[in-house]
């Protein structure tokens, strides 16, 4: 079953790359007591994700924060080393928390899994965005396959 507006995020553990190496972060660590702009991509370093999706959130980080967002987070079914390298390549700095969902457990628990086996990608996360307030989904924007519209930073700014 797919998560919906009004639902609490499932308990999950992500891995993030820090200056001290890989570090675990729980759903509570990321979303507890905060308003978070979360977006998910099918894969780091993939064309739409690298050319539009992640850069849009980096470019609009200050505007999102001005509208009440405490943190911006990106998740993907990639390992922490890939997510760390992609964040560095894209110059995210402190603007976006790069949440590695290496085994896809968060994607599965939210019901937002995409089957990319036909493309040699295995099971991945669907492309989506959500506004999460203290762990509860207040807005959820799931893209149709191949689209990039409702999960963009600009669309989210319009929702805030």
Kindly list the catalytic residues.
Answer: 49
Which residues, in sequence order, are CB contacts of 96 under 8 Å at separation 6+? 54, 57, 58, 61, 72, 73, 74, 87
Q: What are the residues facing 22 on neighbouring strands?
A: 17
Rounded CA separation 15/44 (Å): 15
H or E, element range at 90: helix 80-90
Rounded CA separation 89/21 (Å): 17
Contact indicator for 54, 74 with CB cutoff of 8 Å: yes
- Taking residue 116's Cβ as centre, other Cβ atoms within 10 Å add up to 16
SS3 state at 17: strand
């Amino acid at each position: 079953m797919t998560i919906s507006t009004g639902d609490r995020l499932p308990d999950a553990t992500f891995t993030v790359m820090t200056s001290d190496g890989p570090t675990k972060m729980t759903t509570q660590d990321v979303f507890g007591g905060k308003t978070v702009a979360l977006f998910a991509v099918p894969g780091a370093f993939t064309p739409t994700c690298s050319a539009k999706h992640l850069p849009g959130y980096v470019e609009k980080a200050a505007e999102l924060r001005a509208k009440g967002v405490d943190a911006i987070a990106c998740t993907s079914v990639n390992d922490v080393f890939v997510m760390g390298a992609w964040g560095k390549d894209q110059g995210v700095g402190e603007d976006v928390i790069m949440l590695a969902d290496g085994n896809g457990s968060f994607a599965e628990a939210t019901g937002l899994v995409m089957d990319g086996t036909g493309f040699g990608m295995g099971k991945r996360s669907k492309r989506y965005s959500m506004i999460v307030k203290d762990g509860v989904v207040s807005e959820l924007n799931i893209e149709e396959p191949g689209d990039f519209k409702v999960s963009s930073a600009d669309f989210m700014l319009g929702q805030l």
